[in-house]
Amino acid sequence: MTEDDERMVLLRFVERFALVLREAGMPPMPARVLAFALADDADRYTAGDLARGLDVSPAAISGAVRMLVSLRLLGREREPGTRSDLYVLDDRDLWSRFMATELETLQRFEEAAASGVEVLGTHRPGGRRLAETRDFLAFLRAEMAAAVARWPAERDRRAAAREG
Amino acid sequence: MTEDDERMVLLRFVERFALVLREAGMPPMPARVLAFALADDADRYTAGDLARGLDVSPAAISGAVRMLVSLRLLGREREPGTRSDLYVLDDRDLWSRFMATELETLQRFEEAAASGVEVLGTHRPGGRRLAETRDFLAFLRAEMAAAVARWPAERDRRAAAREG
DNA sequence: CACATTTTTCACGAGTTCGTGAAGTGTGTT
DNA sequence: AACACACTTCACGAACTCGTGAAAAATGTG
């Protein structure tokens, strides 16, 4: 397989994975950058690396990395004596952090339901439905947070099992 | 509080809740319809009820309920001898069903990661990252499915605790 | 069968989002 | 100081989404 073929395979995967991220609410370019940083072999990229790797304009990268850094999905570093930031995908707890933002969404749901219960009261069917919604969301959020917290240990346990 | 004030309170809540649904990826009108059906006191609505209740055109309702029915968040019923479908929010397991669609999204993530592992192989850093992504997603999906399945019993347990 | 009522389909206009190219900014090099 | 390089900001055009009004379809009623 030639160099170009491999690149094509990678970029096809990037688009496929980015599509799922987009369906989950992430804008296209941040989704591509994240997928690329995840699947390509380097562990540090300059903005230029990303632009060339994805074959898009540097301007598009600029906005995308800003969002990803603000979501803590990418880290920004600077090697002394160089003039470019380096973007690092800290893969160790990447998905735990990704889920942290999902959990915030869930919390906003919960708060919205709770505020509805307040203004509508629980003595009416609508209010009662909202109260149950709120309770379910609170339950689910606690369960998900617990599961996410459990993962690192679970992963290590599995790795150990494979070794032994 | 007058009739109109109450309506205003309801509609304000609908917009607030719908906003969170939209941020989670649902289009505006389905989000509004779902929020309205949840918070208003009726448990069955014709398309016309929804249009008047939300003060939007019937055309907008048409598309919205089709999506909600296809997501199984609304049921469609027909009273014999009437000429309108009735839309029913089956509140008993509404959020479990909602989460079922979220779990499908998670599964698509997982499949995308798995396909990446296949084409890139695990002998390279990118492929290894994808493999771990896939494992995490599989773990999380299993945990979430278990939590959702646990909820009905948990809810009943809580209700019983409040009684006794 | 003509009619009334309700819902659906369709085309449009308003508004938004996206990525680009071009210009601007900042920083280190000569 | 002038320059080279890398990134960021900005304005634009293309594409898409949303909800409406009007017309059409479906479905009972007189």
Residue B81 in this model has a pLDDT that exceeds 80: no
What pLDDT, on the 0 to 100 scale, is given for residue B79? Answer: 78
In whole numbers, what is the pLDDT of chain A averaged over residues? 92
Q: Is A82 helix (H, G, I), strand (E, B) or coil?
A: coil
A99 and B140: CB-CB below 8 Å? yes
What pLDDT, on the 0 to 100 scale, is given for residue B101? Answer: 85
Q: Is A2 helix (H, G, I), strand (E, B) or coil?
A: coil
- Model confidence pLDDT, tens digit, residues A100-146: 888 998 999 999 999 999 999 999 999 999 999 999 999 999 999 99
Distances (CA, A) of B18 to A25, A96, A116, B88: 15, 27, 12, 18
Q: Is A78 exposed, middle or buried (0-12, 13-18, 19+ CB in 10 A)?
A: exposed
A38 and B105: CB-CB below 8 Å? no
Interface mutation target, options A15, A17, A71, chain B, most CBs of B under 10 Å: A17
- Model confidence pLDDT, tens digit, residues B25-69: 899 999 999 999 999 999 899 999 999 999 999 999 999 999 999
Instruction: Please name the residue of chain B whose CA is at the shortest distance from the CA of residue A23.
Output: B25
* Contact yes or no for B43/B87 (Cβ under 8 A): no
- Model confidence pLDDT, tens digit, residues A29-81: 999 999 999 999 998 999 999 999 999 999 999 999 999 999 999 999 988 77
What pLDDT, on the 0 to 100 scale, is given for residue A153? Answer: 93
Residue B12 in this model has a pLDDT that exceeds 90: yes
